[in-house]
Amino acid sequence: MYVLQKLNRFVIPRTELTYPCHLLKMHQNAAAAPVDHVMPDFEDACPYEYKGEASRATMVEALKSVDFGTKVIAIRPNNISSKYFLGDLQAIMLGAPDRFHGIILPKSNEPKDIVHLAKLLDALEEQGGWTTRVQIEALIETPLGIVNAYQIATASDRMAGLIFGIADFAAAVGVRDNVENQNQNFHYAKQATVVAAKAAGLHAVDNAYLRLVRKDTSAEEAESIRAGLREKNLGAAGLGMDGTWVIHPQQAEIANECFTPSDEEIAKAKRAVEVYHEKGGGSIYDEEAGEFYDEATTKAKLVDLAKAVQAGKLDSEWLDAQAAKSKEVTGYDILEVMRRVA
């Protein structure tokens, strides 16, 4: 979860738009996109000729001149073993203090990678005169990263989330198709990322869907692409992912919808929570809905309804009151445990 201190709000990203950082126009397009989070990329999306000073200068200019509104801005430097990594970090930390919220660390293989980054951020925040604290998302995209996911997630109190990176992971394990059937082919890796993130109280973000509608795409093929995007994201949400990377604004509407409860789902969950408490808790049967509720299922509904609050579909005071009722009996607030509150 990102805590945006100056805006006094928190964000569990449903959509993270990744794009190359070396062109100012890309930043301007991203700022206008209907996404929760933007991720300018120094690494895989940046051409070799722009590595180093050229991309850094554009990135700093964008942070100073482009209005990203209330979006989370998290920047992906070159990986920690790259000769460009430290220079990327120094350029943005010293060139644009308090202008962004997070660092996305690619190729996060071991907890020591996060510890190293956190120490650098400590020093650069002090040197740059930061008044806010930069958070970290770790990109889990290797078998070693999957094995160490929980240790990575708990390596620093700057950690906000884990992201599953499918392309590099697929290459490493030898899976050729990383588009179709990916929730089946990569089920273990995705679920491991989710479990590690949630055990540490972080958000979990799914990989991008790599098919896009082009100008010359037929209507039939376009519909197939949109259906594939929806299927992938609904499946990822079913695995516990909180959101997904998107590689073009055209993917944002469907992706946001897949990771946001519908009005019908919100009403049903809200009523279930209210009925549960009205009937005194325990294991109860709701005759009108034809469903059983207990403490565990009610807590699950509270976590899901936190997404509705973030989407502006539900009043936060109502959710807080219901969570407090649960805490009176169980001794803990599920929203606090899962970091679904600021």
CATH code at position 110: 3.20.20.60
Q: Are 311 and 36 in contact (CB under 8 A)?
A: no
What confidence score (pLDDT) does residue 236 get? 96
Q: Are residues 177 and 103 in the same domain?
A: yes
219 and 325 assigned to the same domain: no
Rounding to the nearest 10 degrees, give the CA dihedral for residues 281, 282, 285, 290: 80
Is 29 domain-assigned? yes
Q: Which residues of the chain fall below pLDDT 70? A: 7-8, 337-342
Tell me how many domains the chain contains. 2
DSSP letter at 250? G
Which element (helix H / strand E) includes 40?
Answer: strand 37-41
* pLDDT tens digits along 253-262: 999 999 998 8
Amino acid at 75: I
Beta bridge partners of 40: 19
Domain end residue (candidates: 199, 231, 258): 258
Residues 6+ apart with CB under 8 A from 207: 163, 164, 165, 166, 167, 178, 182, 244, 245
| 342 falls within a domain | no
Domain extent at residue 242: 2-258
Whether residue 181 is found in the same domain as residue 215: yes
Same domain for 36 and 163, yes or no, is yes
- Please list the residues that pair with 76 across neighbouring strands: 41
Residues 168 and 197 both lie in one domain: yes
Q: Are residues 308 and 239 in the same domain?
A: no
The confidence score (pLDDT) of residue 11 equals 86
What 3-state DSSP class applies to 238? Answer: helix
Q: Of the candidates 200, 227, 258, which is a domain's last residue? A: 258
* Planar angle of CA 172, 175, 180, nearest 5 degrees: 135
- Residue 54 in any domain: the answer is yes
Q: For tokens 């990102």, what's the residue? A: 2
Q: Which domain-ending residue is among 211, 227, 258?
A: 258
First vs last Cα of the chain: how many Å apart?
9
Same domain for 172 and 87: yes
Q: Within this chain, do residues 216 and 321 fall inside the same structural domain, yes or no?
A: no
Residue 323 lies in a domain: yes
Element (H, E) at 115: helix 111-128
Round the CA-based radius of gyration of the chain to a whole number and report it: 21
CA 118 to centroid of chain Cα atoms: 19
| One domain for residues 14 and 146 | yes
Asked if residue 42 is part of any domain, the answer here is yes
- Statement to judge: residues 159 and 188 lie in one domain: yes
165 located within any domain:
yes
- 312 and 191 co-located in one domain: no
Residue 221 pLDDT: 96
Q: Give the pLDDT confidence score for residue 341 in this predicted structure.
A: 62
Q: Same domain, yes or no, for 186 and 74?
A: yes
Provide the 10 A C-beta neighbour count for residue 5.
Answer: 13
Q: Is residue 310 part of a domain?
A: yes
Domain membership flag for residue 71: yes
Say if residues 79 and 107 touch (Cβ distance below 8 Å): yes
Take residue 218 and report the two structure tokens written for it: 């037929």
